[in-house]
Every structure is written in C-alpha cells, then in structure tokens.
Chain A
C-alpha cells in the first residue's frame, strides 16, 4: 500500500511531470488557452500514459535492452492513434481545435520517460497506477494553467466545454467578468510561459513552507560545555 501512496505523491506533487520534471512542455504551452482544450489534452495524455505503461510492463521481460526505445515508441504511437481516432469519432470539435497536438502526444517526453524509468522495471499493476498518477499530475497542471489563461484572457471559465462533454456542458460556461478587449497576451504562448513560471514559483513557495514547518527548531544536541577550550 505504501508503494501506491508513494506513486500518488510522486505523480501529483513531488515529481510532477509538468512542474518539476518540466516534460511535455510543448503541448502544455500550446493548447492550454482554455480549460476545455487543457482538459481534452490532459485526458488524452492520461489514457495514453496508462495504456503504454501497462503494455510496456507486460512486454518488459521479452524486449531486448538494445531496441527497447523503438519498441516503446511503437507502443505509444499505437495508443496515440487509438485516442486520436476515438476523439475524431466522439469529440470532433475538440479534435479540430487541438489539431496537431493530439498526434504529437507520441513525442511527449513525460510518456516515454515513465515507460523507460518505471514501467520497464515494475509489475503491471504498479505501472498502471504510476501512469494514472503521472497523467493525473500532468492533467491537473494543464487544467489549472488553462483556467488561469482563460480567466485572464477572456474572462470566462469552461468556455465551449460542450466540445468535450456533450451539449449539456454548455451550461457550465461561467462568465466571471466581461470586457471589450481580450487580454491577448494570456491567450498567446508568452502568457503560457509566464503562467507556468508563476505556477512553478507557487509550488516552490508551498514546498519551502512545508519544509520550514517540518523541521522543528533544532534542539541543542549536546548540553552546553562548561568550559570551552577549542572551537571544535
């Protein structure tokens, strides 16, 4: 059980693929202009990550070490194609708005990184859970980033969520405030860099605070010496 807990902590916070490993930044920066896009890409990445981790873990004992990377890439590409076809079939609007970034999930370093670093060395159930947690960590960051950029850029949340979740989701759209001029920078890629920088800074601040709370004020290890003859 403790192994699962470690995996959960690693994926979502301590070793978060987006905030700590800084892997898969290209889709992260490119498509997080709205929550819907971010959630769509996050879910796609999550599915691919779980699938590829399970498959890699299944075949880990038969794949020769020398050609493992091409094999992993083939497996990942297979899952990406599956996800792409599924999105094409069921969420066509989102498929169009994400465009090239769905097939580009193949090149997401976070996925091949987990296949190489974890799934190729661990049993199936743990690999699946690791994929789930890493994908979840990645998706959370994507969604938070998407929310920040959508809020600052156009003052809404969950705009056009119906592309992903079906017609009922139109009512999810929240107009927090409205203005005549979009804050273009938040929607353009530079805004994504700035927002990601702020998120990483926020994580570091929280980590520093946790650390300072954990380390209790150091107690005097030895009693004060009555007579000090040397400084050692």
Chain B
C-alpha cells in the first residue's frame, strides 16, 4: 500500500474563482427580477449589451497584453462587473452609456492596473461614477414604477428607445418617463431631497404616490431582492458577514440619530436601508474581495465608514445616492486600514 503525504491544507472548499463569480451573479437574480417586475424589461437589454461589451473588451485587452484570452474571460469577473453595472444604470439609458461604462471599467480600471486582483478600485463602481459625472441627464433618467407610469411600453419599444432615443410613434424618453399626472418623476431619494429643499417635511413628501408606507414603491422590493441574494451569499460563505453587517449597522445608527435629532427633515432608518443602492452596495459591491479591506477588523471599519459616508452624502451632499462614491473613497483608504489592522501572527508579538 502506498501512503502519499500531501501538505496542508487538507480540507478544501472546492470553490473555484469561476464558481465564486457565477454564484455572485446568480445571487443578483432576485434583485434583477424585482427590477424587471417594477421597472420593465429595459434592464435585460442593458444586461445583454453589457455582457457582450465586456466580453469583447476583455478579449481585446488580453490580446493587446499578449496574454491568453480564455482564462481571463472564464473567471467570470468581467461578467460580474457587467451585471453590476447593468443593474445600477437607468434601464432605458442610451446604448452608448453602458458601452462607455464597460470600456472604462474593464480596460482602464481593471486591466491597465494589471488585471483581476490588482485593481485598486471596484471596476463597476468606478465606471458608474464616470458615467454619473459625465452624463448626469442620462444617468438620472430613472423610470417610474410601472403602475404609476402613463405610457408603459413593451420590449421592442424599449429597444427602440435605447438605440434610437425614440419609440416608433415618436415618444422621447422624457415622455415615456412621465407619470399618470404627466409629470416626470424622480427617484424616491431624489424626491425626498428636493422636497426637503423646498421646505416640506418628510411626512408631507411621503404622501406622494411615489411612496408606500416605508420607502419608494418598487425600490423597496428591489432592495429586498438584493438583501435575499446577499443572505444566500452569506449562507454559501462566498462573502464574510463583516462588511455588510457593519455597513448596514452604521447606516442604520447614523440615520436613527439623524431622525431623533430632526424628525421633520430626516426620512429615518427604514427609508435609508430600503432606498437607492443600499442593499446592493452592502452585499454585492462593498464586498468585492479585491478592492475591499482584507482583515476582519479592517472589514468592520471599512463597512462602517462606507455606511457613514453614504448617510453623510445622502443627507448633506449634492447627489441623491452615494454608495458608489463611498465605496470608491474607502477603496483608496484600504491600504491604510489593512496596515493598522494586521492580526497578530501566531507565535509573534505579545497576546493582548
């Protein structure tokens, strides 16, 4: 009998990089379904566009770098970037928006820094910020929830809008976006911010048809969808609990303090947690293993600071939502956080 000695580790998790990325993509599905149900099938068109674009760009840049194409493509990280980007831009944004986003995220943010594992910033969020800063009009043209919409348009008409800016009977995106009362609607976060700026209280603002009892119609379910997907990722041990928990806790505490201090102008904890990109950010974006902090204590600090920044920018900043900005700012701080939170190596230094 031959006894072979294998060196440790002896217990493997059987998680390949590809499988990891594909699981994360699969966990996006509840949120995706919620978006399709409430805001129409436009997001699916964006998804197909984004997946095609990142595949082409990734292959092209790998050829330019004289590296093998298939290993880079098949690890799935580019596709995950595409999915996250497609989920975060408005569903009926013109086709060149998502193409420019994919180009920037894959070629500049990821591959110019050396490819997967070397990128300082989260590619999807860097591209999102680029698009938001460059094309503010297109990037804030969100649709109203289907039930409030004046013109619900079908799949082919959505294709026409994305590629030609007009439907077959000549409606522009602005006309399609109009609500039942004929007025173009903003997102819940934007509405609250504008109304508070106009001197309304939150309670008055939330009387609008855009909201249900807790948060924005539809947006609440999108966030709950991402929460469900995130919990699945936690259960599968794809992500650690540290970042999402500290992110959500920090945002909840900050918004609770704000609500207690100024109940008239602060929408409160539940609204913050179920609006905008909170849940997607907490479970899918801030947990990016490459650009997030790598020590457990560091992860807690990283998540908490993102939550704080999201609250501060949403409340006092110029933009209605802030997850992308907060994540990018903390990505810069990651080396510092990691430096100061290195765990004690076994056998070295004194036990505290």
Q: Which chain A residues lie closer than 8 Å to B130 at the CB level?
A: 185
User: Counting CB contacts under 8 A, is B108 at the interface?
Assistant: yes
Q: Which chain B residues lie closer than 8 Å to A181 at the CB level?
A: 135, 137-138
- A156–B134 Cα gap in the complex (Å)? 17
User: Counting CB contacts under 8 A, is B133 at the interface?
Assistant: yes
For residue B182, give the distance in angstroms from its CB to the closest CB of chain A.
24
Q: Tell me what chain B mostly uses at the interface: helix, strand, loop, or mixed.
A: helix
Q: Which chain B residues lie closer than 8 Å to A43 at the CB level?
A: none
- A188–B135 Cα gap in the complex (Å)? 12
The reply to whether B134 and A184 contact each other, CB–CB distance below 8 Å, is: yes
For residue A64, give the distance in angstroms from its CB to the closest CB of chain B.
45
The reply to whether B108 and A183 contact each other, CB–CB distance below 8 Å, is: no
* From B112, B134, B137, B138, contact of A185 by CB (8 A): B134
Q: Which chain A residues lie closer than 8 Å to B136 at the CB level?
A: 184
- A181–B138 Cα gap in the complex (Å)? 9
- A184–B138 Cα gap in the complex (Å)? 12
* From B108, B112, B133, contact of A184 by CB (8 A): B133
- A134–B138 Cα gap in the complex (Å)? 43
For residue B331, give the distance in angstroms from its CB to the closest CB of chain A.
15
- Chain B, Cβ-Cβ closest to A187: B134
Q: Which chain B residues lie closer than 8 Å to A183 at the CB level?
A: 134-135
Encoded as 1 (CB less than 8 Å from any A CB) or 0, chain B from 7 to 41 comes to: 00000000000000000000000000000000000
Q: Which chain B residues lie closer than 8 Å to A188 at the CB level?
A: 133
Encoded as 1 (CB less than 8 Å from any B CB) or 0, chain A from 153 to 182 comes to: 000000000000000000000000000010
- Chain B, Cβ-Cβ closest to A182: B134
- A186–B112 Cα gap in the complex (Å)? 18
- A183–B138 Cα gap in the complex (Å)? 12
Q: Which chain A residues lie closer than 8 Å to B108 at the CB level?
A: 194
For residue B66, give the distance in angstroms from its CB to the closest CB of chain A.
13
User: Counting CB contacts under 8 A, is A190 at the interface?
Assistant: yes
- Interface residue range, chain B: under 10
> Would you list which residues of chain B between 67 and 96 have a CB under 8 Å from chain A?
none
Q: Which chain B residues lie closer than 8 Å to A186 at the CB level?
A: 134
Q: Which chain A residues lie closer than 8 Å to B138 at the CB level?
A: 181
Q: Tell me what chain A mostly uses at the interface: helix, strand, loop, or mixed.
A: helix
Encoded as 1 (CB less than 8 Å from any A CB) or 0, chain B from 117 to 137 comes to: 000000000000010011111
Encoded as 1 (CB less than 8 Å from any A CB) or 0, chain B from 259 to 285 comes to: 000000000000000000000000000
- Chain A, Cβ-Cβ closest to B165: A180
- A183–B108 Cα gap in the complex (Å)? 17
Residue with the highest number of chain A CB atoms closer than 10 Å, among B134, B137, B138: B134
- A186–B135 Cα gap in the complex (Å)? 11
- A201–B133 Cα gap in the complex (Å)? 24
Q: Which chain A residues lie closer than 8 Å to B137 at the CB level?
A: 181
- A181–B96 Cα gap in the complex (Å)? 11
- A188–B137 Cα gap in the complex (Å)? 16
The reply to whether A190 and B133 contact each other, CB–CB distance below 8 Å, is: yes
- Chain A, Cβ-Cβ closest to B135: A181
- Chain A, Cβ-Cβ closest to B137: A181
Residue with the highest number of chain B CB atoms closer than 10 Å, among A185, A194, A201: A185
Residue with the highest number of chain B CB atoms closer than 10 Å, among A183, A186, A201: A183
Q: Which chain A residues lie closer than 8 Å to B135 at the CB level?
A: 181, 183-184
Q: Which chain A residues lie closer than 8 Å to B112 at the CB level?
A: 201
For residue B125, give the distance in angstroms from its CB to the closest CB of chain A.
15
For residue A143, give the distance in angstroms from its CB to the closest CB of chain B.
23
Q: Which chain A residues lie closer than 8 Å to B134 at the CB level?
A: 183-186
- A194–B109 Cα gap in the complex (Å)? 11
- Chain B, Cβ-Cβ closest to A180: B165
Q: Which chain B residues lie closer than 8 Å to A184 at the CB level?
A: 133-136
- A146–B217 Cα gap in the complex (Å)? 46
> Would you list which residues of chain B between 125 and 157 have a CB under 8 Å from chain A?
130, 133-138
- A184–B131 Cα gap in the complex (Å)? 9
- Chain A, Cβ-Cβ closest to B138: A181
Q: Which chain A residues lie closer than 8 Å to B133 at the CB level?
A: 184-185, 188, 190
- A183–B137 Cα gap in the complex (Å)? 12
- A185–B130 Cα gap in the complex (Å)? 7
Encoded as 1 (CB less than 8 Å from any A CB) or 0, chain B from 154 to 169 comes to: 0000000000000000
- A183–B130 Cα gap in the complex (Å)? 10
For residue B161, give the distance in angstroms from its CB to the closest CB of chain A.
15
- Chain B, Cβ-Cβ closest to A188: B133
Encoded as 1 (CB less than 8 Å from any B CB) or 0, chain A from 93 to 121 comes to: 00000000000000000000000000000
For residue A48, give the distance in angstroms from its CB to the closest CB of chain B.
34
- A87–B137 Cα gap in the complex (Å)? 37
Sampled A-B contacts (17; CB under 8 Å): A181-B135, A181-B137, A181-B138, A183-B134, A183-B135, A184-B133, A184-B134, A184-B135, A184-B136, A185-B130, A185-B133, A185-B134, A186-B134, A188-B133, A190-B133, A194-B108, A201-B112
Task: Give the A-binding residues of B (Cβ under 8 A).
Answer: 108, 112, 130, 133-138
* Extra A-B contacts (4), CB below 8 Å, given A184-B134, A185-B133: A183-B134, A184-B135, A185-B130, A194-B108
Task: Give the B-binding residues of A (Cβ under 8 A).
Answer: 181, 183-186, 188, 190, 194, 201
Q: Which 6 A-B pairs have the closest CB atoms?
A: A185-B134, A184-B134, A185-B133, A183-B134, A181-B135, A185-B130
